[in-house]
Amino acid sequence: MRKPEFVYVTYIATTPEKLWEALTSSEFSKRYWFDTEVKSDWKVGSPFALVMNGTTTDVGEILQVDRPRWLSYTFHHVLSEAARKERPTKVTFNLEPHGKLVKLTLTHEDFEDGSVILDGISKGWPAILSSLKSLLESGAALAIPPSALAIEGYDGP
Amino acid sequence: MNLDNFKPAIVYTIYIASTPEKVWEALTTAEFSKKYFSGFAVEAELKVGGAFVARAPDGSVHISGEVIECVSPRKLTITWNVNWSALVEKLGPTLVTYDIEPAGDAVKLTLTQAHDRPIDDDILSGGRSGWPAILSSLKSLLETGQALVIKMEPPQRMLDALKKLGIKTP
C-alpha cells in the first residue's frame, strides 16, 4: 500500500522569486492562508511556526532552503492534544519554471498511520494554494469560509 | 454500468473565483475548453446517455464517452475514454466526475477520476500530471480572462506501461 501522503500540483503565472516570497512572507501569507502568518528566519535548523490571529497552530523546523527552488520544513500541529502526540510530519515545496509559468508541487508526508491531521491538511492545502494562485495572478486572494472545506470536526476558528 | 464498482484513483480540488454556472460552462463547452485544455474541444450532449467527446486540434476524437449523471450546475459524471486502441478493453472505462459547490464567494471544483479495477501508478501518472495543468489553466481563464500556456507531454512511464499492456499510443 502507498504510504499516506498528500501531493498537490498547481501552475501559476508568476516567477519563482515572487512565489518564494509569497510562501515565506508573513504579510503575504496572511492574505491567502486563512489569516495565518508564516514565521521563520528561513535558515536550515531554525524554528518555523504558523500563527493564526495570534494563536500558534503549527510548529516545526526548517529542513531545506534552496531559494527559489526548494523549501522544506517539519510540521507539527499543536492545537489539539491528539495531534500533539503524533510525530512531526514534513512539508516540501518545489518551484520549477515551466515556460512562462511556475509549477508548484507541494508534498506533505511522514504521517503516522491513522494520523488525525491527514484529513484536515488534505482539505486545507487546495484552498490555501488556490487562494495563493489567485492572489499572484489577479491581485485578489479568495475568501473561502473554513466551513466550506468540510474538515471533519472543524468548522473554522 | 454499475457506478458502485468504481473507486476514486485521483481526486483534485481547486477553488475558483467564479460562479457554479460559469465553471459548468467552462467544463462543458468547446469555446472555453479550447483555451484551457491544450486546444481540445469538448462537445457534451448534456443529458444522461448523451455523448461526450473531446476533439484534438486536428478535429480527431481523442476522448469519447457518455454522460452518466448531469445535474447542472452541480455535478457532471461522464465516461472519459482515451481513444487509444485496446485501452478500454485492457483498463476498463474511466469515470470522471466534476463536483461544483459554492464556497463563500468562490466555487469549489472537485475532479474525481475513478476506475472499476486497480490501475497501476505508472498509468495513473497521466491523470496525476494532466488534471492539475488543465484545471490550473481553467481557473486562470475564469479569474483573469487569460488561460495558461502549459506544454505537456504524456509521462514516459505511462507510455511505457501502456505499451507493455499492448495499448497503442500515437
What is the complex's ipTM, to 2 decimals?
0.96
Phi-psi region of B82 (alpha: psi -120 to 50; beta: other; left: phi over 0): beta
Is residue A156 less than 8 Å (CB to CB) from chain B? Answer: no
Cα separation, A131 vs A149, in Å, equals 13
Q: How close is the nearest chain B Cα to the Cα of A157, in Å?
A: 16
Q: Which domain range does residue A117 map to?
A: 6-140
Evaluate whether residue A71 is within a structural domain: yes
Helix axes B20-28, B121-144, angle to 10 degrees: 120
- CB distance from A121 to chain B under 8 Å? no
The 10s digit of each residue's pLDDT in A54-101 is 999 999 999 999 999 999 999 999 999 999 999 999 999 999 999 999
Please check the confidence at residue A3 and state whether its pLDDT lies above 80: no
Residue B2 clears pLDDT 90, i.e. is over it: no
Q: Is residue A1 part of a domain?
A: no
Specify if A125 maps to a domain.
yes
By the CB < 8 Å criterion, does B55 face chain A? Answer: no
pLDDT one-digit tens code per residue, A119-140? 999 999 999 999 999 999 999 9
- Read off the CATH number of the domain in which A43 is found: 3.30.530.20
Residue-level pLDDT at B169:
87
Coil, helix or strand at residue B112: strand
Cα–Cα distance for residue pair A8/B13, rounded to 1 Å: 9
pLDDT score of A156: 63
- With 0.80 as the threshold, say if the pTM is over it: yes
In a domain, A135, yes or no: yes
Angle made by CA atoms A97, B148, B99, in degrees to the nearest 5:
115
Residues 6+ apart with CB under 8 A from B145: none
Instruction: With respect to residue A29, please indicate whether it lies within any of the assigned structural domains.
Output: yes
The per-residue pLDDT for range B116-142, each reduced to its tens digit, is 999 999 999 999 999 999 999 999 999
Give me the residue from B104, B105, B132 closest to A11, CB to CB: B132
Does some domain include residue A145? no
A157 pLDDT more than 70: no
Per-residue pLDDT, averaged over B29-49, amounts to 97
How many domains would you assign to chain A?
1
| pLDDT at residue A155, as a whole number | 66
Residue B139 pLDDT: 98
Confidence (pLDDT) at A82: 93
If you average pLDDT over residues B41-50, what whole number do you get?
98
Which residue among A10, A142, A144 sits closest to B132, beta carbon to beta carbon? Answer: A10
Contact between chains at A144 and B104 (C-beta distance less than 8 A): yes
Chain A residues whose beta carbon lies within 8 Å of the beta carbon of residue B7: none
The answer as to whether A127 is a domain residue is: yes
As a whole number, mean pLDDT of residues A4-27 equals 97
- How many of the other CB atoms lie within 10 Å of CB of B30? 16
Does residue A152 form part of some domain? Answer: no
Q: Which of A2, A10, A137 sits opposite B144 (nearest CB)?
A: A137
In Å, what is the CA distance from A137 to each residue of A16, A31, B27, B34, B35? 13, 14, 21, 21, 17
